[in-house]
Structure 1
Amino acid sequence: MSDSRDWQGDAVDVAIVGAGAAGVGAARRLQALRPDLSILVLEAGARVGGRAWTVRPPLVEGSPIDLGCGWLHGARTNVWKAIAEEIGFTVDKTPAPWSEGGQNLEATMPGGQEARAAIGAFFAHAEQRRGEKPDPALSDLLEPDNPWNDRVEAIGTFLNGSPLDQASLEDYNNYHPGPGPDWRIREGYGALVTAYSQPVPVALGTIVTQIDHRTADHIAVETNRGTIRARAVVVSVSTNVLANEGIRFDPPLPEKLEAAASLPLGLANKLFLHTGTTDGLPVDAHLIGSLHRSATGSYQLRPFGKPVIEAYFGGPLAHELEKAGQAAALSFAREELASHFGHIIAGELEVAAMSAWAATPHIGGSYSYARPGASPQRSILAAPVDNRLFFAGEACSPSRFSTAHGAYETGAAAAEKIATSIAGGVGRS
C-alpha cells in the first residue's frame, strides 16, 4: 500500500471510497484486469482494513489479535484463504471450538445438551419456513414459554448483532458463507487484508463528503482534502455511513438510503483478556457465560494456546458494555467466568484490548443485518448507477453478508464491471 498523504486533489480513472475488504478487493481486481487504469482508494480512517483490524497489545507480548473479523468462514472456498497462502500467511486449520472436532464446553454444562437441542430445533424450524411471506422477524418463531428462549435469543445477538425481533427470517435463510469449516489466519485477518493492499495507492485520512454524478463525463468526489474527478467510483462504506448521509449524493439516491437504512449494522464487540494463570483452561475451547440469560458472553479460551480469553458480546449487551467502558466489560466477564472456573482465575484477568465498533468513526457498527422484509434490499444497494457509480461491501452480498470474503467478492464484481465499461485509461497509479 502506498499512503498517498500528499494527495491534494486530482483526476483518476477510478476512485474507490473505503479501504476495507471490499475496497481493497476492488482495487486489486481492477489492477489485475486493467493495469492501464489509474486507481486511488480514499480512506477516511488512519489505517487500511475497515472492520478487519489486527492489533498487537503489549500485554500479550505483541501477539496478533483480531478486533474485527477473525474467522475464515466457508474456509475451503473463501478467497482470503487463497490470498493468505499466496502471500505467505499461515492458515490455521484447528477446528473451531463450536464445530465438529472442536472443544465446545457448553455440552458439558448442566442443561447444556437441552440448550443445544433447543437451538437446533429453533433454526431447523427457521429453515422449514423458508420463503414465507410476509417475511417475519426471527422472534416470531420462538415458542411461548419455552425455557430456552433466552439461550436462542443470545445466539441471535451473536449472529446478527441485534435482537431476534429486528432480524429477517428470509435473510437468515439466504445466508450461506460457502462450503468448508471455519479456519483462522495466525498473523491476523486484519493483517492479511492490510498486507494484500500493499500495491494499492491509498489516501488515508481522506473523508468523502459528497459524490456529484450530474456530469456525463466524470464524477466529482468531494473530500476534506479537495475534489477528485473520476470516470467511475466504487462506494464501499458501511450501511450506517450511507443511511446517516455521511456521504451525500447529487443527484440524490433515495433508494440507496432506504436500502442502507433497512440493512443497519448490528453490534458485536470483542474483549481480549490476559490471564496470569492457565490452570484449568483448555486450549481453543469455547464456553458460553450463561445458558439462562440472553445478555451473556461467548468465550474462546486460550486461542492458539495463548494465555488469553476472547470474550464476544452481541446486540444490546454489546452496546451496554461499549458505553460503560473496559472496566465494566472486565467486571461482567470476570463474573461469568468465575461461575465456571472460580474467582482465583477470574481475579487474574486483565484487559489486553477491546473493540468499540459502534463508536468507531466512519464505520459505526460490526456487520449488517436485514430488518424483516428487507433482505431484497441487498441487491438494491448493490445495483450500479448509470454503469459508473458502483456499490460494494458485505451488506451488498445476497448470501455472504457479514463476512470479509463476501465483501471482497462484491468489490471484485464491481471491478469486473468497470473493467468492461471504461475505455483506455491514462495509466497513472
Structure 2
Amino acid sequence: MDYDVAVIGAGAAGIAAARKLTSAGRSVVILEASNRIGGRAWTIGLCGMPLDLGCGWLHSAKRNPFSQLGREAGFSIERTISAWQSQWHELGFSKAERSAARSVWEAFNERIRRDPPETDRASDALDPDGEWNQYCQSLSAYLNGAPLEQLSIRDFLAYDDAATDDNWRVKEGYGSLITSCLPTDAAVQLSTPIRRVALTGDGVRVETDRNALLASAVIVTASTNVLARGMISFDREVDDHLQAATQLPLGLADKLFIRLEGHHGLEPETHLLGNPRDSSTGSYYIRPMGRQLIEGFYGGEGAARLETAGLMDAFAFASDELASLIGNRIRSHLKPLIASTWCAMDWIHGSYSHAVPGASQARILLAQPVEDRLFFAGEATHPQDFSTAHGAWDSGLRAAGEVLAVMTS
C-alpha cells in the first residue's frame, strides 16, 4: 500500500479526518482537485482586509469546535451580536412590516412542526396568497440556497432543532482558521482531480490525472454535486450513495464585497435587506467588524443571477438596491471588490446541501461505509449540522473514527 488512508478533498471534512488519522499514527495523503486547501472555506486578502468568500460565521458558536480551535491557535474570535435581523434606520422595511413578516415566518415554522403537509415540501405550508411569501422565500434562499419548493421539511427541522443563536466570527477569516488546522504530517497533492475510485482485493485504488495509488481505506469528502454528476467514477457498490447524493443537491449562496470610500455616513455592524418583497433580493451587512465595506449576500435565484451577470452587473444591481434605500448619494462611495461564484467553482459546483422533499434520510445513507474500506464525509453527511463548516469537520472526525475502528479490530 502507498498509504494507510487516502482522503479525497481538502475542505473542513478532509482536514479533520487527516488530523485525527495522523494523530493516531496512520499514513495519510490528501488529494485535492483544486489548487488550494479549504474547499468551501476560503479567506482572501484584499485592501488589507481578510474576506471570507465561503463560510464566514461560526454558527452555533458555543458548541462549534472551531471556537475552541481558533482560541487555541491564537485567532481572534469576535462575539458581537449579529445585525442580520435589523434594518438600519428602518429604511424600506419599517418596524411594523418587519414584525408582520417575522410573524408570518414564525407561523410557517409552527405549521411545519405542528401539522406538516404529507408532501414534506416546505412551500406547501405557506398560505398561497400570503403577503409575505416572498420574504419567507428570501429567508430560505439565504438559509438553504434554494426555494421552499425544493426543501424537505423534516430536513429543515433537523437543522433548526439543533442550531443555536450564537453566531460568531473570526477576525482573521474563518477560511484561514480552517486551513491552519491542516496536519503537517499528512501528504498533500493539490491540482489532482480524482477520476476513479475502485475497490481492490485488499484495499482501494485511486486514479487521478497525475497517477494512481493504493490505500487500505479511502475517505471521500467530495460535494454531493460532484458525486451526483458522476465526476468521479465508482464501483457499482456505491450506486446507492450516488443516488443519495442526487437527493442532497447543493443550493447556491454567493457574496459580493463592496468597498466603502469617503464620508459615507454608514454605521458599523448594521444591516439592510434590499427588498423584502423580492425573494432574490440582496442582504447587505454594513461595515462588519468596523471595516470599510459592505458584504452583500444572495441566495437561490439571486445568487444564480449574480453568477450569470458577472461582477460589474452584480455590483450595479447592489448599487441600485442600496441607493433605493439610502439615496443616490451612496453610489459615489461604493467600489466593487470581489464576488464569489460557487456554482461555477470547479470540483464543488454549489454552496451547501439541502434534502429535497421526502429525502431527509439520504444523509444517513450517504454516510454509510462501503465494505469497510470506502467511507464518506462532508457537510451533507451530517444528520443535523449540514450546510456548516463545523458539520463538515465533525463528519470528518466521524469517518476517521470509523476507519480507525476497522483498522484496529
TM superposition score normalised by structure 2:
0.95
Match of residue 215 from structure 2: 230
Match of residue 287 from structure 1: 272
SS of structure 2 residue aligned to 1:64: strand
Match of residue 18 from structure 1: 9
Match of residue 74 from structure 1: 60
Which one is further off, 270-279 or 187-196? 270-279
Amino acid at match of 2:291: K
Using the alignment, how far apart are the partners of 2:142 and 2:61 within structure 1? 20
The answer to whether 1:62 aligns with 2:51 is no
- Give the counterpart of 2:88 among 99, 102, 105: 105
Using the alignment, how far apart are the partners of 1:372 and 1:67 within structure 2? 29
Using the alignment, how far apart are the partners of 1:302 and 1:345 within structure 2? 14
Match of residue 42 from structure 2: 53
The answer to whether 1:336 aligns with 2:336 is no
How far the C-alpha of 1:294 sits from its partner, in A, is 1.2
Using the alignment, how far apart are the partners of 1:134 and 1:205 within structure 2? 45
Structure 2 residue runs of 5 or longer lacking an equivalent are none
Structure 1 residue runs of 5 or longer lacking an equivalent are 1-9, 425-429
How far the C-alpha of 1:348 sits from its partner, in A, is 2.1
Match of residue 132 from structure 2: 148
Asked if structure 2 preserves the Cα contact closer than 8 Å seen for 1:236 and 1:393, the reply is yes
The answer to whether 1:368 aligns with 2:353 is yes
How far the C-alpha of 1:216 sits from its partner, in A, is 2.9
Q: Give aligned-pair identity as a percent.
A: 43
User: Aligned residue pairs: how many?
Assistant: 404
Asked if structure 1 preserves the Cα contact closer than 8 Å seen for 2:87 and 2:273, the reply is no
Amino acid at match of 1:113: S
Label 1:278 to 1:388 Cα distance change in 2 as closer, same or farther (>3 A): farther
Using the alignment, how far apart are the partners of 2:394 and 2:364 within structure 1? 14
Using the alignment, how far apart are the partners of 1:402 and 1:106 within structure 2? 32
Deviations 1:139-187 (A, max 9, x none): 1011021111111111111111111101111111111454450000111
How well do the aligned residues superpose, as a CA RMSD in angstroms? Answer: 1.7
Match of residue 342 from structure 2: 357
Asked if structure 1 preserves the Cα contact closer than 8 Å seen for 2:84 and 2:285, the reply is no
Amino acid at match of 2:36: R
Deviations 1:206-253 (A, max 9, x none): 11110011x231100000111110000000010000000111112452
Asked if structure 2 preserves the Cα contact closer than 8 Å seen for 1:280 and 1:341, the reply is no
Match of residue 427 from structure 1: none
Asked if structure 2 preserves the Cα contact closer than 8 Å seen for 1:77 and 1:180, the reply is no
Match of residue 257 from structure 2: 272
Using the alignment, how far apart are the partners of 1:259 and 1:134 within structure 2? 21
Asked if structure 1 preserves the Cα contact closer than 8 Å seen for 2:198 and 2:235, the reply is yes
| Within-5 A mapping of 1:272-421 | 272-277=257-262, 279-421=264-406
The answer to whether 1:422 aligns with 2:395 is no
TM superposition score normalised by structure 1:
0.91
Which one is further off, 375-384 or 198-207? 198-207
Using the alignment, how far apart are the partners of 1:216 and 1:133 within structure 2? 48
Amino acid at match of 1:421: V
